[in-house]
């Protein structure tokens, strides 16, 4: 049986803990990056769809509908209440 000094055992335990910690951090970082990327792609698709819809309304010549669509997105409280 090989006997290790206490300092060698301590170094091995610290190295194991460091590797385990870095591995867990890497997994969490990868999961976060994947979810962020998927969310960004969905947001881009939603914005593209909305832009296409507004452009189609503008090309049809329905400017009031376009202004109404934009106005419904931005609700301003102009009442004096």
Q: What is the pLDDT of residues 2-44, one digit of tens each?
A: 666 678 888 888 899 999 999 999 989 888 888 888 888 888 8
Looking at residue 41, its pLDDT comes to 83
| DSSP-derived 3-state class of residue 3 | coil
> pLDDT at residue 67 above 80?
no
81: confidence class by pLDDT, cuts 50, 70, 90: very low
Question: Residue 54: which residues within 8 A CB-CB, separation 6 or more?
Answer: 66, 69, 70
| DSSP-derived 3-state class of residue 27 | helix
- What's the whole-model pTM score? 0.41
């Amino acid at each position: 049986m090989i006997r290790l000094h206490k300092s060698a055992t301590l170094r091995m335990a610290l190295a194991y803990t460091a590797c385990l910690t870095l591995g867990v951090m890497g997994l969490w970082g990868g999961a976060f990056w994947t979810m962020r990327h998927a969310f960004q792609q969905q947001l881009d698709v939603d914005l593209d769809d909305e832009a296409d819809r507004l452009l189609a309304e503008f090309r049809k010549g329905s400017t009031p509908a376009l202004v109404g669509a934009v106005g419904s997105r931005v609700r301003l409280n102009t009442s004096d209440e």
